[in-house]
Structure 1
């Protein structure tokens, strides 16, 4: 049986579905993502039962990859970097900013 921190979590981020583990999403305890798994932030579920996050689902793949391996690929597109910075601030991922 899986322990709670190994539980799979289905996310709907801006209409794009992602699946990851709870331990990945809570890697940074002070982040907004970690707060979603505390009692302080009530979850919003979509009609399939996935946790809904009203953000850009394509940008979230970068956030999720950062949580999995605290590195970002070399990104030279300044517009993309600006967008990722906004997402990192929203999710309160200071290490990603």
Structure 2
């Protein structure tokens, strides 16, 4: 795999990453990103880009922090299901609010 940048256009907002990040262990083998052809240039994904930064951070680090405002949690959960990120879906389902009002979710 190449470390060349991959451009994801999510609902009109461009995100730059690498194929390695999108195929990371955090993503799992059945994720939306597992079988994409990253050699064809910009990839358009017809989804709301609002919480994609959280999805991408989870793929990069196997960990993501986000505010516990109910709406954000629900949107991330919905997008994690769409992208086939089973580990993240499971963790969001089990997470409890910590003292700071943020969720801190790790892949393992």
Shorter-chain TM-score range: 0.7 to 0.9
Question: Larger helix proportion, structure 1 or 2?
Answer: 1
SS, match of residue 72 in structure 1? strand
| Root-mean-square deviation over aligned CA pairs | 2.0
CA distance in 1, matches of 2:82, 2:35: 12
Structure with more of its chain in strand, by fraction: 2
CA distance in 1, matches of 2:7, 2:16: 5
Q: 1:29: Cα distance to partner?
A: 2.3
Unaligned runs of 5+ in 1: 39-44
**TM-score normalised over the length of structure 2:** 0.71
How far 1:35 sits from its partner (Å)? 2.4
Superposition TM-score, scaled by structure 1 size: 0.78
Equivalenced residue count is: 86
Q: Which of 72, 79, 82 is the matching residue for 2:74?
A: 82
Q: Which runs of 5+ in 2 are unaligned?
A: 90-108
Give 4+ residue runs of structure 1 displaced > 3 Å after superposition. Answer: none
Equivalent in 18, 21, 24 of residue 21 of structure 1? 18
